[in-house]
Amino acid sequence: MTRYADPGAVEWVESGGGPLIVVPEVVLSSWSGADGDESETDYDRACGVDGYAGLVAVGQSLALVLGDDPASTSFLPERGLFVRWCAAESEEELLGSVDAALAEAAWEPQQLWDVPGPVVLFDSAWPGDELEPENHLRVDLEPGRYSVRATYVEPNPETWLSLVQLRRLP
């Protein structure tokens, strides 16, 4: 994860090449990543997700896989939005294009995700109980049902990003 010193900057989570995953904190130790004796590991299941976002079972819950591209990812809590850095000259340029990206987004069909509380964003190859301070991001979500929708947008020729939006349902 890269940390930026500029005021208002966000923390980014990197991938070693596979999808990132958002696992509820209460079932984090149930995610085995690329480890395991099974013919299909948790990481394999995450890699099998089609589209920009999908859900996979983890323990007694579901985790959100951020698929398609192993882009650096952060979370903007004020917007309920995972922002995925596909191409941009700078963090400022990327984050400055979020409004334009939201305005022109063509969203994939929404999914419903029951969240038991805080979640953790990390590389899906890592086992959930072996995370280190620099390779994950904890996101404080309130328990409840969320609508999840995802898109890929090129708001200008030099800036490309994927967005995964969470909206808490009543």
pLDDT tens, residue by residue, 7-54: 457 899 998 888 999 999 999 999 999 987 667 899 999 999 999 999
d(CA 31, CA 22): 11
Token pair of 3, please? 């940390």
Residue ranges of the domains in the chain? 20-168
The residue to which tokens 């596979």 are assigned: 18
pTM: predicted TM-score of the whole model, two decimal places: 0.91
Lowest mean pLDDT among 1-5, 64-68, 146-150: 1-5
Predicted confidence (pLDDT) at residue 1 exceeds the cutoff of 50: no
Report which of 162, 160, 164, 143 is spatially closest to residue 152, judged by C-alpha positions. Answer: 162
pLDDT of the residue at 2: 39
